[in-house]
Structure 1
Amino acid sequence: MSTASPPTSGSPAPHTIRGTILRPFKVPPKSKSDWLAPAIITAKTITAAAECAPFPYVKGVSGTVLILLETVVTVKKNREDLEELCSSSTEIITILHDQIKAHGNTAAVKFKGLCEELESYLEAVILAIRNMQDRFKGFRGRVKEFLKSSSLTEEIAGYQAQIQGVCSKLKLMAIVETNFKVDEIHAIVTAPSFAVVKAGQNINNCPPPSRIFQGRQAILDKMHQFFNTDSGEQHIYVLYGLGGAGKTQIALKFIEQSSFSDVFFVDTSKVETIDTGLKSIAVSKNVGNSAQDALRWLESSHSNWLVFFDNADDPKINLNDFLPKCNHGNIIITSRNPDLRSYGAHTLVSDMEEADATTLLLRRANKESSEENLKLAIEIVKELYYLPLAIIQAGAFISKSEDLEGYLALYQSNQARLLSEKAAQSHDDYAQTVFTTWQISFNQLSHLAATLLQLCSFLHYIGISEDMFSTASKYDFPSWSPPREELQEPLEFLSHFVEPTGEWNSLKFLDITNEIKAYSLISFDAKAKLFSIHPLVHAWSRSALSDEIPLQSCMNSILGMCITEIPAHEIELASVWLIPHIVLLKYANPDRVADFRMAFWQIYYYTGRFKDAQAIAEQVLEKSQLILGEDDPNTLVAMGNLASTYSKLGELQKAKKLKVLVLEKCTKILGEDHPHTLFAMGNLAQTYSHLGEFQKAKELEVLVLEKRRKLLGEDHPDTLIAMGNLATTYYKRGKLQKAMELEVLVLEKRRKLLGEDHLDTLVAMENLARTYSGLEEFQKAEELEVPVLEKRRKLLGADHPDTLRAMANLTVTHSTLGDLNKALGCRGYSIIAIHPVITVYINAM
C-alpha cells in the first residue's frame, strides 16, 4: 500500500481552499477500512476548486480522478488491487492544487503537459475497469481472479506504472519550482536518468542497448570479471575512446547482462545535467531533492547500486566532485578523455573486430549473411576502419538504397556526405552522425588546438612528430629557400611554441596536444614519440574546411622549413619518416605557396622515388635558370641534383652531360678548391665509373681525395665519402686489395665518429662486405651483411630499397656458403622471389 512521504525541508507548504487544509492523500498503514471515502472527498474538494480556476486541463484531470475513484467504488471485492493506482492519482491532483495555489500561472503552464498525459491514462483505466466488470458480470467475488488474468494484469500494471511515472515527474517539478528554466525542467523529466520505478522493481529507466548490438565480448568479459571481484573497494570502470566507437553501447549491454539493485543513468556532458541526474536519484529514493542528498544516500546505502556516468567528455569538469566518497557501490564512466583512466580500471574502446563489424553492417543493412554479401561487407568495413558508428550509418544507407554492391564506390566519392547523414530509423538513442559527433568535440578546442589538428590533416594520419614543428621553428632563411615575407602564416603559428630566446617550448606544445587528446581526436605513442589520428577523423578534419589552401600552404611550408634545417648527414634517415607526409601533401602549386621544392626533392631522392624526384628537380632547375641565370650557384646545385637523379634512373648519358657542365661552371666561377666544385668532381667521377670509364673516374677521385684531405682533414665526412668512392672504383677495376684497404679504413673511422647504427656506417660495412665477397672471403662478408640487414630493417623498414639490396646481398652470400636454409629465411622470400631483386641491385652496382 503506497503512502505519501511527510514534507521535507524545501517542500511546498500546504495551502488552503475555503478553509479546508489539503495534503497529499494518505492511507493509514495496514488499514482494512474503506480507503476510498477520504480519497473521494479530497478529489471532490479539488475538483470544486478547479472549477474556479482558468485552467481547463487542471479541471479535466481532477474530474477524471474523481470518476476513477467512483468507478472503483463499484468494484465490490478485492478493490485493494487498485489502491496504489488510485493513491497515486489522488496524490497528483493534490500536488497540482498546491502548486497552482502557490505559483499561479507559472505552475499551471508548467504542468499542462502532465495533466493531459495523466488524463489520457486515467480514461483508459476507467474504460478497462468497466470492460472487466461487463465481462465478469454474474461471477460474485471473482474480481481478484479477473485482475489476475494475464492480459488484464498486464494492462492494469502498465497503466499503474505510467501513472506512477507521472507522479514522480510531478514531484520533481514541484521540488525544483521556479528556480529552473523551462528547458532544464524538460531535461529533468525526459532524461534517461529520471527514475521511473516499476512495481516490484528497484531499477531506474536506464536506456537499453541497441537492438543490433554486436561483438565486444572481450571488453564485456573484462568488465564482468572486474565487477564480480570483491576487492573491498568501490568498483569504478572507465570506457574511453573516440566518439562513435561504441562506449555507451558497451556499458548499456553490460548493465543489461548484470543484476544490480539500482541502476542510475547520469548524463555527464555538462555540470547541469550531472546535477539533474543526481537530483533525480534523490527524488526517486525519497531522500531529498539535491545532488548532495543523492550522494549521501549512495554513500550510506550498502546495496549493490550502480551509477552510469555517460559522456564525461568535458575535460574542464572535475568528475571527482560528483562521485560518491565511499568504499562500496559500482560506477561506470564513458568518456573521450583518456585522462579519466586515473579513476579506476579502464579499457580503450576502439575499432571492432572484422567479423563483428561485418555482422553489424549486414544486420543494420537488413542483408543476409551470404558468402557474396560477406565479401562485400568486409571491403566496406575496411574502408570505414571498423568504426561502429560509421558502420551503423553505412548499414542504414544500404538498407534504404538496397544496394550493398554499389555502396563502396559511392562512399569513396561522397565520404563527407555519407558520414554526415542521419538515418531516419534508428536502433538506439544516439542522435549524432560520425562527422557531427566529432564536430561537437572540435568546437570545444581552442583556436590554436583546432589549427594544429587541421594542419595535421594534411599529413599522413600516423607518424606525426613534434620534431617536424620544432625543427621548422629553427629555420634560418638560407638564400636558396623562401624568404621571411613568404612565410608569415607558418611563422606566426610556430611562434606560439617558441620562447623569446628562440628556444622551442615543448611544454606549450604538450599543452595543446593534450587538449586535442582529451577528446580522443589524436593519440600518442609514448615509446615512439609519435602522434596519430584515426583515419576517419583525419578525413573529417580536412573535409570540414571551407577553404583548405591556406592551411595546406602553411603545412607545406612547415615541412619545407623542417627539411631545410635537417643536417645533411641526417637527411637520409629523416626521409624515411617524412616521405609518407610528403606524398600525402602532394606538393602544392608553387604559385600559391612558398617554394620548398628543393627540400622535397631530397626526400623523394633518398627514399628511392626517383621519378618524383626527377619531376621536381626539372621544375626547380627551370625556375632557377629563368630567375637566377645559368651561372648562379643555386642554379648549379639544381643542375647537379637533376644529374644525380638521372644517374639513379639509369639515364647515365643525360647525367654525364649535365655533370660535365656543372663541373666546368663550378671550376670557372667558384675555383678548383670550392666545396661545390669538389662535389661536382666526385659526382662526375661516379657517373664515369657507372659508364665503365674507370680511368677517368680514378683520376677525378684521387684528386678529390687529395684536396679534401688537405682542406678538411682525414676524419671529415666528405673526406670519407671521397675515400669510399675511390675504393668503389678500385673494386670495379678489379683492384680488390686496394679497395679493401681503403674500405677497412673508412669503416673504422665511421664506426668511431658516427657509431654502429649510422646509415653511413652501414654503407661502409656493405661496401667492405662486397669486396670480401670478391676476394672470396665469404665468411667475413656474411659477418658484415647480417647486421647491415638487421639494422636497415629497423631504421628504414623492410621495403626500403637499401634494405632490399642488403637482403639480396646476404641471400647470395648464404647461398654461396651452401646454407640454403638461411638463404630461404631472409624475410621469408623464396629464391624464385628474391632473384629479381638480386638482379636489379647487382645491375645497378
Structure 2
Amino acid sequence: MRTLREQMSHGPTAVLPHTLRGMGGVGKTQLVIEYAHRFKADYDLVWWIASDTPLLIPGYMGAMAEKIGLPSAKSVGIDEACRSVLDALRRGEPHARWLLIFDNANTADDVKAMIPASRPPQGHVLITSRNARWEGVANTLVIDVFDREESIDFLRRRAREITPAEAGELAEELGDLPLALEQAGALQTETGMSSEEYLELLRQQPLEILDANQPMEYPGSMTAAWRLSINALEDELPEAMQLLRCTAFFGPEPIPIDIFRWGGVEAGPIMTPILRDPILRTRAIALIHNLALGKIDDRAMLVHRLVQRLLRADLGEEQQADFRNEAQLLLGAATQLNPDEETNWGIFSRFVPHLEPVGAVESTEPRLREVALKVLRYLYLIGHTESARTFATRFRDTWGAASGGEDRHTLNAERHLADILRQAGRFRAAFDLNKATLERARRTLPDGDELVLEIVNSFGADHRALGLFREAVAHDELSRKQHLDKYGSDDPRTLRTMNNLALDYALVSEYQRAVEMHTAVMDGRSRPGVGSKLEYLSSLGNLGQAARLSGDYAAARALGADALDYGRTEFGGAHTSTLSAGVDLSIAERLLGRLAKALELARDMYDLYESTLTPGHPETLAAGLCLANALRTNDEHDEAYDLTRNVIERLPRIYGSDHPFTLAARGNLALLERTRGHPERARDINRDVLDKLDTRLGRLHDYSLTVALNLSNDLHELEEFEAALELDRQTAPQAEELLGARHPLTLGCYANLAASLRSVGKTDEAARLLEDTLAGYYATLTARHPDTVLARAGGRLDFDFDQPRI
C-alpha cells in the first residue's frame, strides 16, 4: 500500500496508468478497494470499471456521463457518452481529482481507448491484471503471495482457534495465497471444520473445497479465479495449456526451463509436437507467464502449488497418468548432465525437489532413474548426506523389490548409498553393503562393466576406512590396472583410481610413492576438461598432505595455502573440502614452527566443522586432533588434553577401539599426560598402544615409530635411561629404513638417541651422532626451526599424530 501510494503521488503528469499485477487470488482487487477507501478524501470522483470482458468496458465508462452532468448514454449512445466522459476527464471538468479503476484488465489494448490521452495532475488510473505484458506500458507493481509469517498471522486472525503450527501447515499447502487463506479461515470459522479435515479435503477434492465459501468482498472463489486464467490460456494457445498441465506433475518449486528444450527429443506424444517447435515452445512458456499462471525467473518456471493441485484435479485418472509420464520423460531428458562438473550443480539443485513429485522413486523409466542417480551423486558431492541417504535408500528398496536387487539401477543406487554411508562415518555398513553389491554386480553384469569398476573403486575406500591399509593397496592396484586397460591413463576414472592408490600408499607409510602418484594425478587433472574443480581441490590437498608426510613441510604449506584459497573461491569457506584444506594448512604451519598461525587456523576450522557437520563426524574429530596438537605446541596443555580426550571417546564409535587411527590418537593423549606431569600414565598408554599397533601394522610404520619415539621419552622422563636408550637404538634405524635419513621423524629419532647416549655417559658417541643429525636438520628444516634449536640444545623431540584423509 505504501509503495502504491508513493507511485500514485509522485508519478509523471502525463497519463501513464499504474498496474497491480499478479496471479489470481493474491489480493490485487482487495488492495485497490482498500486504496480507494483509504484515500477517498483525495478524489472527487472514483469510478470502477470491471474489465474482464472488454466488450462491456465502453458501457461502464459511458455510464459515468450522467454522474458528472453530461448527456446520458441512453440519450446520445455509448460511443458519444464515452467520448464526452474522456474529454471531461482530460480537462478536469467538473472534477480534476478523479480515480479510474480498471479491474482485471487482460491487455493494454482492452482499455487504452478508455484512458484519457492527458490528464490533470490529480487524475489517476489504476489497473489490476494477471498479464505480465503490462510491463513497459504502465507503472507496474507486482503483487505476490504472503510470506509465511503474514500467512500465519492472517489465518489466526480469522480462525482464532487455530494453532501456529496448524496455521503454518495450512499456509504451506495453500502456498500462502491470500484468497485461498481467506476461504480456508472463513470456512473453518463458520463450520467448525478442523485444519486436519480441511487439509484432507484439499488433497482429495481441491476443486470443490476451493470453490466453497467465496469471500463477500471478492468477485469469485479461488477455483473461479483459476478457471478465468485457464480459459484465457486455452483460448489463446491450446498447446500452452498442455505444457501447463505437464508442469502440474512437478513439485511446487522452480522447474528449469532447459528441460523443455531438451525434452524435444525425449518427450512423449503429448509434449513432443510442442517442444520440438522452438517458436511454439517459447510462445507457450511466455503465455503461461503473461497470464500469471507461472512465474518465469532465472531460467526457471514456478507454478503455484494450488494451480498445480487444481490442474491435476481437473484431469481424469488416465490423463493424469499420461501427463505424469510426460513429466518423467522431461526430467529424464537431463541424462547428458554430469554431476561431477560444478557448472551443473545449479540445475541439479533444482532437480532435487521434483524427484518425488514426478514419481522417480516408483518409476521404471530408465532415463529418469539415471537422472535420479545423478542427483544422488550431486547431493553426495555437496555434502547433503542425510537427503542423499534418504533418496538412495528409497531407490534401492523400491527398485530392488521389483527386480530382486540385481538390476543395474538398484546396484548403482546401492553403490551410491555405500559412498553416502562412508561419508557419514558408517564405515562398517558401507563396507558390508559394497561387498554384497560387488558380488551381485559381478554375477549379473559383464566383466569390465563400467558399474562394476565404479563399485570396485568405491570398495577400496571402505578398506581404508576400516584400517585395512595393506588390503586397500592390493585392491586398488588391481582396480588401477582394470581402469587402465579399459579407459587408458588420461581418463578421469583412471585418475580417480590412481588418487585412491596414492592415499593407500600414504596409509602404509610409503610417502614418496604417494607423492609421485599424487603428482601424476594432479598433472592429469590440470589438463582442460579432465577433472572437475572439486577433484582439482582434492588433488591439491592430497598432494600437500603427501608432501607433509614425506617431510617436505614447505611444499605442504604452499600447496595447503593454494588449496584453501581455491576452495574458498570456488566452493565457499564452509564446504568440507575447503575445511579439509584449512586443516592441512594448519598442520603444515605448525610443523614449520609457525605456531600462533597454526592455532588460529585450527580453531577456525574446528568451529566450522562443528557447525557444518556434527561434533562426532570423522572429519570433525580429525579437525579436533589438529586443534589439540596446535594447543599443545602453544603450551595450552590442559585445553589440548580435554579436547584429545573428547576425540578419543568418540573415535571407537566410528572406527573401533583397535583401528590404527584410534590407537595413534591415544598416543597423542599419552604425550599430553607426560607434558602435564604424568609420565607413568604416558608410559602405560604408549606401551599398550605400541603393542597393538605392532600387531595391526608392524613396527615399520609411521604410527608405530611415532609411538615408540614418544615411549622412549616417557622412559627417559622416568629416569629409565637404559630402557630409553635401547628403544631409541631400535627406533632410529627403523625410521631411517622406512622414511629415509633426512625425514624429520628420522632426525628426531637420532636426536633423541643422542640425548639418551648422553644420559648414560656416552658423550663422545652422542656428540658425533648429534653433529650428523644437525647437518640433516640444517639441510631440511633450517637452523632456526624449533626442532633444530631443540636438538642442538640437547633436548628430546616429541611427535604427534594427525589423522590423514581416506
TM-score range, shorter chain: 0.5 to 0.7
Post-superposition CA distance 1:581-612 (Å, at most 9, x none): 11333336557x67843543343354242454
Post-superposition CA distance 1:434-462 (Å, at most 9, x none): 23311221222233222222222222222
Give the structure 2 partner of residue 582 of structure 1. Answer: 355
- Shift of the alpha carbon at 1:262? 1.9
- Residue identity opposite 2:335 in structure 1: T
Query: Aligned pair in 2 of structure 1 residues 551, 647: CA closer, same or farther (>3 Å)?
Result: same
Q: C-alpha root-mean-square deviation of aligned residues, in Å?
A: 4.1
Pick the aligned partner of 1:342 from 120, 123, 136: 136
- Shift of the alpha carbon at 1:512? 0.8
CA distance in 1: counterparts of 2:560 and 2:567, whole angstroms: 11
Are the equivalent residues in 2 in contact too, given 1:785–1:806 (CA < 8 A)? yes
Give the structure 2 partner of residue 460 of structure 1. Answer: 251
Give the structure 1 partner of residue 59 of structure 2. Answer: 276
Give the structure 1 partner of residue 769 of structure 2. Answer: none
Are the equivalent residues in 1 in contact too, given 2:328–2:359 (CA < 8 A)? no
Alignment of 1:551 with 2:329, yes or no, is: no
- Shift of the alpha carbon at 1:652? 1.5
Q: Give the secondary-structure state (helix, strand or coil) at the position aligned to 1:342.
A: coil
CA distance in 2: counterparts of 1:467 and 1:767, whole angstroms: 37
Alignment of 1:698 with 2:473, yes or no, is: yes
- Shift of the alpha carbon at 1:737? 3.7
Give the structure 1 partner of residue 288 of structure 2. Answer: 516
CA distance in 1: counterparts of 2:330 and 2:104, whole angstroms: 36
Pick the aligned partner of 2:221 from 424, 433, 439: 433
Q: Give the secondary-structure state (helix, strand or coil) at the position aligned to 1:266.
A: strand
Q: Give the secondary-structure state (helix, strand or coil) at the position aligned to 1:332.
A: strand
Give the structure 2 partner of residue 400 of structure 1. Answer: 190
Pick the aligned partner of 2:337 from 566, 577, 595: 566
Q: Give the secondary-structure state (helix, strand or coil) at the position aligned to 2:10.
A: coil
Alignment of 1:719 with 2:494, yes or no, is: yes
CA distance in 1: counterparts of 2:150 and 2:620, whole angstroms: 45
- Shift of the alpha carbon at 1:760? 3.4
Alignment of 1:838 with 2:619, yes or no, is: yes
Query: Aligned pair in 2 of structure 1 residues 740, 492: CA closer, same or farther (>3 Å)?
Result: farther
Are the equivalent residues in 2 in contact too, given 1:553–1:594 (CA < 8 A)? no
Give the structure 1 partner of residue 527 of structure 2. Answer: 752
Post-superposition CA distance 1:382-439 (Å, at most 9, x none): 5544322122112212321346xx42x2233222557854799876432322233112
Pick the aligned partner of 2:231 from 416, 440, 443: 443
CA distance in 2: counterparts of 1:825 and 1:693, whole angstroms: 27
Q: Give the secondary-structure state (helix, strand or coil) at the position aligned to 2:116.
A: coil
Give the structure 2 partner of residue 240 of structure 1. Answer: 21
- Residue identity opposite 2:314 in structure 1: A
Are the equivalent residues in 2 in contact too, given 1:804–1:837 (CA < 8 A)? no
Are the equivalent residues in 1 in contact too, given 2:463–2:471 (CA < 8 A)? yes
Q: Give the secondary-structure state (helix, strand or coil) at the position aligned to 1:239.
A: strand
Pick the aligned partner of 1:310 from 56, 81, 103: 103
Q: 1 or 2, which has the higher helix percentage?
A: 2
Pick the aligned partner of 1:530 from 288, 300, 308: 300
Post-superposition CA distance 1:318-342 (Å, at most 9, x none): 4434322225431111111122122
- Shift of the alpha carbon at 1:266? 1.0
Query: Aligned pair in 2 of structure 1 residues 651, 233: CA closer, same or farther (>3 Å)?
Result: same
Are the equivalent residues in 2 in contact too, given 1:238–1:343 (CA < 8 A)? no
- Show the 5 A alignment for 1:53-72: none
Post-superposition CA distance 1:483-517 (Å, at most 9, x none): xxxxxx72441332225xxxxx2x43221111111
Post-superposition CA distance 1:257-289 (Å, at most 9, x none): 221232221111121121222221234331553
Are the equivalent residues in 2 in contact too, given 1:824–1:830 (CA < 8 A)? no
Give the structure 2 partner of residue 66 of structure 1. Answer: none
Query: Aligned pair in 2 of structure 1 residues 472, 570: CA closer, same or farther (>3 Å)?
Result: farther
Are the equivalent residues in 2 in contact too, given 1:422–1:433 (CA < 8 A)? yes
Give the structure 1 partner of residue 375 of structure 2. Answer: 603
Give the structure 1 partner of residue 43 of structure 2. Answer: 260
CA distance in 2: counterparts of 1:763 and 1:429, whole angstroms: 62
Are the equivalent residues in 2 in contact too, given 1:811–1:823 (CA < 8 A)? no
CA distance in 1: counterparts of 2:163 and 2:461, whole angstroms: 57
CA distance in 2: counterparts of 1:584 and 1:523, whole angstroms: 19
CA distance in 1: counterparts of 2:29 and 2:379, whole angstroms: 44
CA distance in 1: counterparts of 2:413 and 2:149, whole angstroms: 50
Q: Give the secondary-structure state (helix, strand or coil) at the position aligned to 1:222.
A: helix
Are the equivalent residues in 1 in contact too, given 2:254–2:301 (CA < 8 A)? yes
- Show the 5 A alignment for 1:423-822: 428-446=216-234, 447-475=238-266, 490-498=268-276, 505=278, 507-525=279-297, 528-547=298-317, 548-560=320-332, 562-567=333-338, 570=341, 573=345, 575-587=348-360, 589-590=362-363, 596-608=368-380, 609-610=388-389, 612-617=391-396, 639=411, 642-643=414-415, 645-646=417-418, 648-649=420-421, 650-659=429-438, 662=441, 670=447, 679=454, 682-683=457-458, 685-699=460-474, 701-702=476-477, 705=480, 714-754=489-529, 758-768=533-543, 771=546, 777=556, 780-781=559-560, 783-785=562-564, 787-788=566-567, 791-792=570-571, 803-804=575-576, 806-807=578-579, 810=582, 817-819=598-600
Aligned-residue identity in percent = 19
Give the structure 2 partner of residue 331 of structure 1. Answer: 125
Post-superposition CA distance 1:188-219 (Å, at most 9, x none): xxxxxxxxxxxxxxxxxxxxxxxxxxxxxxxx
Are the equivalent residues in 2 in contact too, given 1:601–1:617 (CA < 8 A)? no
CA distance in 2: counterparts of 1:639 and 1:751, whole angstroms: 32
CA distance in 1: counterparts of 2:328 and 2:172, whole angstroms: 29
Larger radius of gyration: 1
CA distance in 1: counterparts of 2:272 and 2:402, whole angstroms: 29
Alignment of 1:229 with 2:15, yes or no, is: no
CA distance in 2: counterparts of 1:462 and 1:832, whole angstroms: 26
User: Gaps spanning 5+ residues in structure 2: where?
Assistant: 381-387, 422-428, 591-597, 624-653, 656-805
Pick the aligned partner of 1:352 from 146, 153, 169: 146
How many residues get paired? 577
- Shift of the alpha carbon at 1:356? 5.1
Are the equivalent residues in 2 in contact too, given 1:465–1:529 (CA < 8 A)? yes
Query: Aligned pair in 2 of structure 1 residues 690, 644: CA closer, same or farther (>3 Å)?
Result: farther
Give the structure 2 partner of residue 414 of structure 1. Answer: 201
- Shift of the alpha carbon at 1:708? 5.3
Give the structure 1 partner of residue 114 of structure 2. Answer: 322
Are the equivalent residues in 2 in contact too, given 1:814–1:822 (CA < 8 A)? no
- Residue identity opposite 2:291 in structure 1: Y
Post-superposition CA distance 1:295-314 (Å, at most 9, x none): 333334362222111111x3
- Shift of the alpha carbon at 1:678? 5.5
Are the equivalent residues in 2 in contact too, given 1:614–1:646 (CA < 8 A)? no
Are the equivalent residues in 2 in contact too, given 1:237–1:345 (CA < 8 A)? yes
Are the equivalent residues in 1 in contact too, given 2:89–2:119 (CA < 8 A)? no
Are the equivalent residues in 2 in contact too, given 1:420–1:434 (CA < 8 A)? no
